[in-house]
Amino acid sequence: MPHRLDALTGSRLLWASAMLATLQACSVSQPQEPASGHIERELLSHTLHIETGEPRVLDTPHRNIRISESRLFRVSQYDAGGNLLDQHRQYQSLPWANRPVGVQLGELSVQRETDSEGQFRLNLLDEDIVPVDFDQLRTIELEARHSTEVHAEAILLVDRELRIVLHEASELIYDNLEEDDVEQWVQRINRLSELGLKEEASQLENMLILLTTGDPHLQDDFIQALDQRDQPQD
């Protein structure tokens, strides 16, 4: 009996040893996941650029302004041991989207905001701009600012003839309309068209139609006056 027990114990030990060896072999042959490398990006420069379009001298009240920002990076790629594998420069240019832009017109300061494409429309007949003294307006200064270090400026000049047009047009659009009759309203609209401001003429016409909605009789008189203007003269 002791001999059979010793044999049984021995066989169990041999089986356990074999299993341990198998497990060790599996653990050795199992491929280990290497630690991944990493990439570092270093910002080398960050600039803003204002595109004012041509010509530099404004001869119309409107101008589309576009602003973009550019970044230059140094990109370094390392392996798991921290050894440098590759290094190159990466350039990035994007619209300066939905950001404020300062507009300086003489002593008057206003602010505009770019759209998703980094653009905004400068209109010198906007209501918050017309208080400026157009007779003295020589330059328009634009500024886009990200930080103290990252900003851009641009200057537009204002044509002399445009200053005269702006002075008259602002009075035609914004002077007290309630004191005029429908014939004078039509005269204002016609004069804006003669000045080459067809967009403003159309806007004033539509605004007056809306303003007279509460007075159907006055609105009808205004529309008839507009129709008579459009009829060919004998």
Q: Is residue 9 part of a domain?
A: no
Check whether residue 102 and residue 215 sit in a common domain. Answer: no
User: Residue 126: what residue type?
Assistant: D
- Torsion, Cα 187 188 193 197, to 10 degrees, reads 180
**How far is 85 from 39, CA to CA, in rounded Å?**
10
Domain interval for residue 54: 38-159
Most confident of 33-47, 116-130, 172-186: 116-130
Check whether residue 86 and residue 186 sit in a common domain. Answer: no
Q: Is residue 47 part of a domain?
A: yes
pLDDT mean over 172-199: 92
Neighbours of 211 (CB within 10 A): 15
- What are the DSSP E strand ranges found in 52-196? 57-58, 62-78, 84-95, 100-105, 108-113, 119-123, 139-145, 151-158
pLDDT reported for residue 178: 84
Check whether residue 51 and residue 84 sit in a common domain. Answer: yes
Listed residues 118, 134, 159: the one ending a domain: 159
Check whether residue 84 and residue 142 sit in a common domain. Answer: yes
Taking each helix axis from N to C end, the angle separating 216-230 and 182-194, rounded to the nearest 10 degrees, works out to 40
Q: How confident is the model at residue 176 (pLDDT cuts 50, 70, 90)?
A: confident
Phi, psi (deg, nearest 5) at residue 69: -125, 145
pLDDT reported for residue 35: 52
Listed residues 114, 132, 159: the one ending a domain: 159
Nearest to 180 by CA among 140, 221, 149: 221
pLDDT tens readout for residues 59-110:
999 999 999 999 999 999 999 889 999 999 999 999 999 999 999 999 999 9
Check whether residue 61 and residue 117 sit in a common domain. Answer: yes
Q: How many domains in the chain?
A: 2
